[in-house]
Structure formats: C-alpha cells, structure tokens
Chains A and B, each alone.
Chain A
Amino acid sequence: MASEITYEELATLIKVRAGVQVTVDALADPGCMFLDLGVDSLGVLGVLSDLENRYGVSIDSSELLGRPVAEFLQTVNSTVKAGA
C-alpha cells in the first residue's frame, strides 16, 4: 500500500536527482515552480522517473512539465493512489 508522497520526500529526491537543495517551505508554496528553484526539465524528469520506478506507476510527463510543484505532487499522488 503506497502512502502519500510528502514535500519532505520530494525535497530529498530533488537533492539526489537534480542536485538542488530546497526547503520544504519553498516547495509547499502554492506558486512554486521547479525552474524558480533551479531545477530544469531534465531534473524534473529524473525526479518523476524515480517516483515511477519506486511506486510502479506510469505518469505522462508532458502533462507535468512546466506545472507548479504543488500540482506536480498532487498528480503524482493521485496516480499512485489510483494505481495502488
């Protein structure tokens, strides 16, 4: 049973996959964009494929690139929930 992916978990993944140190507060800001954090589209793809591998789901990246972090996490979580 997959649990909800938290902003803490996302921050750790961003650090590992994109090399960018971010705070949970910054991530949780509703208007927060990946690019503003210094995470480029390849970095977002790396985070996404890590989550897909971890939870055994497939998420359409074209829907997610360029979206705010909050929306990204919401989509990932609902997909994981539906797939679990």
Chain B
Amino acid sequence: MSPTRSAVITGVGVISPHGIGADDYWKALGEGRSALSRIDREGCENLPLKIAGLVRGFDAEEYVEPRYLVQTDRFTHFAMAAAELAMSDADLTSHPDDPFQVAVVTAAGSGGGEFGQRELQHLWAEGPHHVGPYQSIAWFYAASTGQISIRGGFKGPCGVVASDEAGGLDALAHAARAVGRGTDTVLAGAAEAPIAPYSMVCQLGYPGLSTADDPDRAYRPFGSDAVGFVPAEGGAMFVVEDAESARRRGARTRARIAGHTATFTGAARWAESREGLAHAVRGALAEAHCAPDEIDVVFADALGVPEADRAEALALADALGDHAERVPVTAPKAGFGRAHCGAPALDVAAAVLALEQGLIPPTPHTEDCPYGLDLVIGHPRPAELRTALVLSRGQMGSNTALVLRRA
C-alpha cells in the first residue's frame, strides 16, 4: 500500500440474520441475542442440516430495481442492498463525476445457488430451451461486483476475490491496495445466500458442519461442548476511501484499514491452520506497525470445531505472546451463524461499531472456554478500544488476519 495514501472505512452496510442495516445488527450484538433457528424453507425440511441464521423480512424490491432483480440471485440482492446502505451511510451517490475513481471488490464462495437451482429445474422438467439466459451470469461469483458496478456506473479497478471464506477480509485488503494505487473510493465486502436446497446440499460435505437440531446448542465456538458450525446468509459492504479524499469531502471516517495478511494451509487441516493463522496475524501487525499488546480486541474466526478452536487459540498465543491470555476475544457470529465470505465482512462491521462504541459484544450460546482465552461471554464488555484484530479461516484452507484502527 502506498505510504502516502491510507484507506479508511466511511460507510457500513449490513444485511444479517439480526436485521437489515447496521443499527439493528449492532443492537442485537450488544444484547447478545441469538438469531439462530430451524430452517423452515420449502425443500429444506428433509436435509440433515437443521439450524442456520436466516435473513428474514428482507424485501429485495425495497433496495433493488426490478431489472436487476430478475437478473440476479438472492446473494447479489443482499450485496446490492448492503452496497446501497453503505453508500447512503457514507453520503455517496451513484454515477459519480469521475466514474473511474470508484471501484467495486466483492468476495463470494457460494454463488447464486437458489437461482441456479430454479433454472436447473426448468432444464430437467421442460428442456434446455426453458433455461433463462440470465442463468449465465446470476450463479457466478462475480455477479455482485458486476451488478453493483453497472448499477452505480462505477468504472474503477473492479475485482472479485475467490479465496474461500477469508475472501471477505481479502476483498477489503484489495480495496485498500486500490486506494493506495490511486483510486479514491472502493465499495468492498461480501454477501452470501447459501440457505436453499441445492446450496445446502453443497455444504453437507463440510466435516465441521453442525447437524444439531437445537438452536441453542448447534454452534458454540470455543465451548467445551462445541459440535461444529452452522451456516448463515447475509453479509456486509463498506465504502473504503482514501483518507485524504474522505477528509476533503467532509466524510465521517469510521475506521482505518491498517494491516492484512493471507495464508493457505489446506482444506480442513485445522491443526496446520495454527501456523498459517499465526503467520497471517504477524504479517497484519507488521503492516499496521502494531505491537501485539496494542490489540484491544480479537474478533475470532471461531469455527466451533474443537480442533480448529484449539488451533486458533494457539495461533493467537504464537503471534501475540502473553498478550493472547489478556486480550478480550469475541465471536458474535455464534449468535447468527457463518455466512461464509459474508462472515468476516459482518465481523468487520461489528469491529468498526465496537471501536466506535467502546463496547465488545459477547459470544452468544457459548458457556465456557477451555483454551486459555479471555472469551467475552454472557454480557457485552465496555472497553477503551483503539485497535481490533479480525480473523477468518475458510473450509478450503485460507487464513486471513486484518487489523483495524479507530479513526
């Protein structure tokens, strides 16, 4: 990243099982509420996956014009709505004076599963001539970046990160690099909609997936009774801007993206993820010129698979030393599930809000932590927060650390 241009977050847009918009999301996080529930959607009843975090009450037409709705899957509806909310938060509008100064970077792992399933059903029931042409773009990982950029008239260096769940953090790093190279504004983040029959079947092979049928027990990361993770839908988009341009236009700076590193250690190799995650943390701290004891809160990956939880705790000890025992660690996603690439994006939204509010939201459901971490459970914890570390690991082996500084 350029030493003279630093990337700041000036807008936050959230679509989550806790509600639409950052305010509802933050309120639920602060109260330690749970949004996990039985999956009650048509065609999903007989699958072994029972519990998830569902986005309810999302009216796509409220945020997205009909011509984009017919072309796109629910995951893109989420991304477009989150982008709209982030832009409104940052007081930015579509069709900027210089379209080449605005870019879009998103991450996605699941793609347009619901749309794709519908078209595949047309294929089998009626034949190839009944598959709609928009199938060619709606399923695609790149759909959200494409549609957000087309809709807003953004012609800067757009991109799509296909790097597993941790891509939700990598997208922000790409955005920060684009800012460093001269682009003033980047819409960045991730959203997913993996709770439909076809998409759910695709996830059944994940060894860490929790098939428990009690919403209170299905996802208890770091707990001694952890049984895996549950998926979620939703995500977050951010307006990432050059700090100086943001200051000039009088934008409210909400946090600074200070450091990032990504590593890879192989699919579901949780013991090996310790080394990869520790390396990612050290790299992100170095880029942020941040000493381990400057980290005031950790938003953990928190997979809920005991071997993975242990590896994450050990990675923190490897990278932060003694500070790993003292720094508060939290996993608010325990209350609404893992939205794949959207999960770390939602964690970044939580971290930005925590830095602003001086409050660490708790880890719902989990009742204990046998890994020597100061896990925030039960109640939110007020704290003076200047620097947050956000961690993410993917089912396929990516490990990413991102350091955020208070504005």
Interface set of A (CB-CB < 8 Å, partner B): 15-21, 38-39, 42-43, 45-46, 49, 52-53
Contacts and interface: CB of A to CB of B under 8 A. Distances in A.
B129 A42 contact: no
A45 B66 CA distance: 17
Contacts, number: 37
Contact of A49 (B71, B133, B137): B133
- Per DSSP, chain A at the interface is helix
Given A42-B134, A42-B136, A46-B134, A19 B129 contact: no
20 contacts: A15-B66, A18-B67, A19-B66, A19-B67, A19-B68, A19-B69, A19-B70, A20-B66, A21-B66, A42-B71, A42-B133, A42-B136, A45-B133, A46-B132, A46-B134, A49-B129, A49-B132, A49-B133, A53-B129, A53-B130
Contact of B133 (A15, A16, A46, A53): A46
Contacts of A38: 67
B59 interface: no
B65 interface: yes
A18 B68 CA distance: 8
Contacts of A17: 70, 132
Contacts of B69: 19
Contacts of B129: 49, 52-53
Contacts of A18: 67, 70
A1 to B, nearest CB: 22
A17 B66 CA distance: 10
Contacts of B133: 42-43, 45-46, 49
Interface residues of B, number: 14
Contacts of A53: 129-130
A58 to B, nearest CB: 9
Contacts of A39: 67
Contacts of A42: 71, 133-134, 136-137
Contacts of B137: 42
A82 B136 CA distance: 31
A49 B27 CA distance: 48
Interface string B195-228: 0000000000000000000000000000000000
Task: Please list the 4 inter-chain residue pairs (A to B) with the smallest Cβ-Cβ separation, ordered nearest first.
Answer: A19-B70, A19-B66, A19-B67, A45-B133
Nearest to A44: B133
Interface string B125-143: 0000110111011000000
A38 B129 CA distance: 24
B132 A19 contact: no
Given A42-B71, A42-B136, A42-B137, A19 B130 contact: no
A83 B205 CA distance: 50
